[in-house]
Structure 1
């Protein structure tokens, strides 16, 4: 199983479907499990940290018209430019991002909330060149986290449904504490749609304690890949 596929996707696997959104893995067989999502608000679709795939536009059309492409991590530009140009929409990034990839699509910065939605921006991490935001809609209970937590194998121990990123285990993100989501979708792996608030609390509280188990698991994982 490759860590990350460099070739264009030939298929995608749908994950995380709910009434107002959907997620997909463009390369289901890669270790990184790069997940992308579409959020629907009043018939408008916001495509988050996307990896492109054949027939993706048909999936997006089920939810409405693409309004914009959103990048929540400064390393997750992925196929944002291509998808934005195909739909003739801008790429949106948090206002405080310093490192932005050069693109041909229009770039718009936002703060507070994602424009014309109730998704508020949560600053997760901004240090050492790592710039990450999350989106949280209090009413729908949907939390979108691109990198700080995930469910891909190298994020989690055997007992975890979600895990803090290996590099952030010593300092689990305080910005996510106290949130009570009904649904969590992540940038690596499938999300959590049941008992999400309790899962988030357990993920953050146990991150440091379970670090040795995660590192031991990752050594086994990458040695056998």
Structure 2
């Protein structure tokens, strides 16, 4: 498995698989404990994450993101939380982003101003079709997750694509939400190119 990104940051570690969907996984570190978010079992990344602290749990934040979470939880003998409503004994608040059959949770980490969005927002090319670094999933374009608007992250971690850190994170999130409906025609226009690009990466 080839990684397109493997980088430590103030929240922990992010790795992005060099595949058509640019699947991103995260290891969030707090008080010497590590939570794995929608993890893909990449040996190099797991080795780096193990050096950051004691494994505490695996979090699956989107219904279609089982990825390697169950296998990792079993191997490390840690809890596997699927679409959790609350996460006691963690620094994270859970945000419900459900919309009909769309089942998703986001995480807000107040201490770090960190926001983790598994699927509704992404930075991969099939999300960010406009001028901004982030965009809304095409199935949420008409009904974007406006519940995220009050949050002003300094760190935006997503399930597809690289994180955004610093002063650009909050602006990128708000811009993606505000442009969601407006960019739908642009997404349709660029869909053939996006599909070709994804096939080329496969």
Normalising by structure 1, we get a TM-score of 0.82
Q: 1:17 aligns with which of 8, 33, 46?
A: 8
1:180 matched to 2:116? The reply is no
Contact kept? 2:85, 2:96, Cα under 8 Å: no
Structure 1 15/54 Cα, relative in aligned 2: closer, same or farther at 3 Å?
Answer: closer
Structure 1 123/20 Cα, relative in aligned 2: closer, same or farther at 3 Å?
Answer: same
Which ranges of 4 or more aligned residues in structure 1 deviate by more than 6 Å? none
Give the number of aligned pairs.
197
Q: Which has the higher contact order (CA 8 A, sep 6+)?
A: 2
Unmatched 5+ stretches in structure 1: 1-8, 95-109
The worse-fitting range, judged by mean Cα deviation, of 34-43 and 195-204 is 195-204
Aligned residue for 1:139, secondary structure, equals coil
Give the aligned partner of residue 102 of structure 1: none
Q: 2:183 aligns with which of 184, 195, 210?
A: 210
Residue correspondence of structure 1 range 165-204 to structure 2 within 5 A = 165-194=137-166, 195-204=168-177
Give the aligned partner of residue 25 of structure 2: 36
Give the aligned partner of residue 85 of structure 2: 111
Q: 2:46 aligns with which of 31, 38, 57?
A: 57
Give the aligned partner of residue 193 of structure 2: 220
What is the CA–CA distance in structure 1 between the aligned matches of 2:4 and 2:77, rounded to whole Å? Answer: 25
Aligned residue for 2:194, secondary structure, equals helix
Aligned residue for 1:213, secondary structure, equals helix
What is the CA–CA distance in structure 1 between the aligned matches of 2:91 and 2:196, rounded to whole Å? Answer: 44
Structure 1 115/16 Cα, relative in aligned 2: closer, same or farther at 3 Å?
Answer: farther
Unmatched 5+ stretches in structure 2: none
RMSD: 1.6
Give the aligned partner of residue 100 of structure 1: none
Aligned residue for 1:14, secondary structure, equals strand
Aligned residue for 1:52, secondary structure, equals coil
* Deviations 1:77-105, CA, capped at 9 Å, x for gaps: 100111111111110123xxxxxxxxxxx
Aligned residue for 1:131, secondary structure, equals coil
Normalising by structure 2, we get a TM-score of 0.91
Contact kept? 2:24, 2:162, Cα under 8 Å: yes
